[in-house]
């Protein structure tokens, strides 16, 4: 699958992505942030609904991940915990459909543009490349 360029959607909360967005594409590229990952900002990861994650797969994502505040330090108290639960619901649904649950993941990260944020994107990029295109696309590229 060396020629496979995954389509990965990252839903990031306002607080974990604020600095990242300030960096711009140039800054992200410089730090090795994979081009396969498209970031979508949310006011809070707790705002993210299960249907939005599924919609991302419907729209052609091969993998989806969510970045929210550390579990015990969410700016909105429990937003990132709620997001983790919803990611869990999607993982369960993917398993029921006999699709790899690891195509969707939750990360709890500190604010700011730091190596862990880039590492999460790289991990997802690596993981999805290994898995190949999402079977939920039904063969569509």
Shortest Cβ 44–other proteins spacing (Å)? 18
Number of residues lying near other proteins (CB under 8 A) = 18
Selected binder of other proteins within 2, 22, 26, 139 (CB under 8 A) = 139
Q: Which of residues 93-112 bind other proteins (CB under 8 A)?
A: 93, 96-99
Shortest Cβ 138–other proteins spacing (Å)? 4
Q: Which of residues 19-78 bind other proteins (CB under 8 A)?
A: 49-51, 54-55, 57-58
Stated as kind and residue range, the H or E segment containing 106 is strand 104-108
Print the SS3 string covering 19-46: HHHHHHHHHHHHCCCCCCEEEEEECCHH
**What tokens does 43 get?**
């006011």
Give CA 2 to chain center in angstroms: 21
**What tokens does 101 get?**
């649950």
Q: Which residues bind other proteins (CB under 8 A)?
A: 49-51, 54-55, 57-58, 93, 96-99, 135-140
């Amino acid at each position: 699958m060396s020629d496979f360029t995954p389509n990965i959607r990252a839903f990031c909360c306002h607080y974990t992505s604020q600095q990242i967005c300030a960096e711009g594409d140039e800054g992200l590229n410089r730090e090795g942030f994979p081009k396969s990952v498209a970031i979508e900002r949310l006011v809070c990861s707790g705002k993210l609904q299960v249907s939005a994650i599924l919609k991302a797969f419907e729209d052609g994502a091969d993998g989806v991940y969510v970045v929210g505040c550390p579990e015990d330090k969410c700016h909105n108290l429990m937003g990132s915990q709620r997001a983790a639960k919803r990611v869990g619901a999607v993982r369960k649904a993917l398993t029921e459909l006999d699709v790899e649950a690891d195509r969707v993941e939750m990360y709890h990260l500190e604010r700011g543009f730091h190596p862990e944020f880039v590492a999460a994107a790289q991990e997802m990029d690596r993981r999805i490349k290994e898995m190949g295109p999402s079977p939920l696309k039904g063969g569509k590229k």
